[in-house]
Amino acid sequence: MESYKINLYKKLQLDRYFWGVALSVTTKIDLTSEENIINTLDQVCKNENLTPLGSDWNAINYDEFKLLLNSAIQFNLGFSGHRVMSIEEAQAYFETLTNDFDINTSKFFTNCFNHFWDGENKGYTSNSISENTLDLVVSIINSDKLLFVYFLFED
C-alpha cells in the first residue's frame, strides 16, 4: 500500500504538546470505492499498531474535518477546554498539514461521532483505535496520498 510515509508530527514538533502521530502517506487510492478507502485507513492503523475500524469509520465533510483537526491541535483531548496553543498557531499547523490537498477532490474520515467542540455539549463518542482512555483520528484522502493524524490521551 505505502510507497512513501513521512511523520509530520515530529517534524512539526507537535509532540511537544500531545501524544500522537501525523502521517503523510503517498499511495494510490480509488476514491470511488469506499471499501478501498476503508481498507487503506485500516492498513495505516495496522502499520501503526492501532485497531482497524472497518465499517466503523465515520465519513465527514470538510467543515467537520477542519473543526476537528483545528480543535484537536488547539486543545488537549483529555481536557477539551484546556488550550495548548493559540487559534493562530493551530491554524498555521492545520494549513501546513493540509496545504497539499484539494478539498474539492478529497474525502474525510474520523473515528468519532460526537465531540467536545461542536458547541452542542454532546460529549465525546468514538470508535477507539487504541487502548488509551481517549483517542481521535482525522484523515483527509485524495487519489494519491492521505494525511492520517491521531491524538492519544491517557489519564
What is the CATH classification number for the domain harbouring 85? Answer: 3.40.1000
Number of domains in the chain: 1
Q: Are strands 134-141 and 107-110 parallel, antiparallel or unpaired?
A: antiparallel
Q: For position 154, what pLDDT does the model report? A: 74
Which residue range forms the structural domain that includes residue 93?
A: 4-153
CB-neighbour burial class of residue 103 (10 A; exposed 0-12, middle 13-18, buried 19+): middle
Q: For position 15, what pLDDT does the model report? A: 76
Confidence of residue 84 (pLDDT cuts 50, 70, 90): confident
For 4-29, the pLDDT digits (tens) are 667 777 777 777 777 888 888 988 99
Which pTM value belongs to this model?
A: 0.89
Average pLDDT of the chain is 86
Classify residue 94 by its DSSP letter. Answer: H
Classify residue 70 by its DSSP letter. Answer: H
| 69, 63 Cβ separation under 8 angstroms | no
For 46-79, the pLDDT digits (tens) are 999 999 999 999 999 999 999 999 988 888 766 6
For 101-145, the pLDDT digits (tens) are 999 999 999 999 876 666 656 666 788 999 988 899 999 999 999
